[in-house]
Amino acid sequence: MRSLRVGAAQLGPITRDASRGEVIDRLVTLMRRGSDAGAQLIVFPELALTTFFPRWYLDDVPEELDSYYETEMPGPQTQRLFDEAKSLGVGFYLGYAELTPEGKRYNSSVLVERDGSIVGRYRKVHLPGHEEHEPDRPFQHLERRYFEEGPDGFGVWAAFDGVMGMALCNDRRWPETYRVMALQRVEMVLIGYNTPLHYAPDPSQNPLQSFHNRLVMQAGAYQNGTWVVGVAKGGLEEGVESLAQSMIIAPSGQIIAEAVTTDDELLVADCDLDWCKHYKETLFDFDRYRRPEMYELITQPKSEQ
């Protein structure tokens, strides 16, 4: 049994005027609590260092927009998180806004091992929301304006004595996300998210946010025989209510831990990475049972569909 003790470190709201230092204080507090509880890996949310800024149209204040991105990881302010992790001997997953030296902007995450070294970086593949200012919305969801689509796809990394994968928020609703990683033998998928409860294009979906959140991550776990750790930034942030409900899901699809607050909260669970094989080597034995030649529409370019 390869048991990994994981801490899902949910965050409550981060205000628009919160400094990086204040936020990192909260992350360090959660990291220490996780370490005290014996966790080897702490999973933080998507865009965990700032408020969820895509809710504002910021063309008039480009300097504010730029302030939300990290140009280095670790950088001057986030170094403290890496130092703390190394000192405690715990790894972490962290979502953040990335601005590259070439000027490209991505919604990204990093996976950091227990020695403080970066194991892998992920750039969000499925960007939801819209490109243009839509003033009729109660708030914006401008991820498609402020980020480029991740160009690297879904990788996996040998780390934490297992095979780890990363995704971000909207990715979790797409079965391809989990499947591409599972075809690389992923054993644990880490997913940070920010999910406003109000969905402007179809408010009839609002009361189903909690149901859908569980549904897609549980299905992704079961259908791929993998652990899934979903971690929210939740609660009422700058007037926008977001789903919390962070959870740790077994390869059976069963939820083994789920947040009960909409604030900073730590869930800890022991995850047996060997549990994956109960599914990967039976019902979902891909080599035996998949029919890839029947799936061709899935990879056809969009113009041909």
Measured distance CA(53)–CA(301) in Å, rounded: 31
Report, in Å, the least distance between residue 218 CB and a second copy.
Answer: 6
**The two three-digit tokens of residue 107, written as one number:** 């919604």
**Which of 270, 262, 225 lies closest to 246 in space, CA to CA?**
262
Report, in Å, the least distance between residue 296 CB and a second copy.
Answer: 5
- Which residues have C-beta within 8 Å of that of residue 232, sequence separation ≥ 6? 10, 11, 45, 192, 193, 194, 195, 242, 243, 244, 245, 246, 259
Q: Kindly state the helix (H) or strand (E) to which residue 66 belongs, with its residue range.
A: helix 62-67
The span of 32-40, 46-54, 102-110, 121-129 binding a second copy (CB under 8 A) equals 121-129
- Cβ atoms 134, 118 nearer than 8 A: no
Q: What is the CA radius of gyration of the chain?
A: 19
114 vs 278, which CB is nearer to a second copy? 278
Report, in Å, the least distance between residue 247 CB and a second copy.
Answer: 14
The span of 20-28, 44-52, 93-101, 177-185 binding a second copy (CB under 8 A) equals 177-185
The distance of Cα 202 from the centroid of its chain, to the nearest Å, equals 24
Indicate the SS3 state at residue 264: coil
112, with CB counted inside 10 A (0-12, 13-18, 19+), is buried
Report, in Å, the least distance between residue 195 CB and a second copy.
Answer: 11
21 vs 294, which CB is nearer to a second copy? 294
160 vs 279, which CB is nearer to a second copy? 279
Of positions 50, 222, 230, 247, contacts a second copy by CB under 8 A: 222
Residue numbers annotated as active site: 46, 124, 169
63 vs 291, which CB is nearer to a second copy? 291
139 lies in the site for a second copy, by CB under 8 A: no
Footprint of a second copy on this chain (CB under 8 A)?
125-128, 149, 153-154, 170, 173-176, 179-180, 183-184, 199, 201-202, 204-205, 208, 211-212, 215-216, 218-219, 222-223, 252-254, 278-279, 282-284, 286-287, 289-302, 305
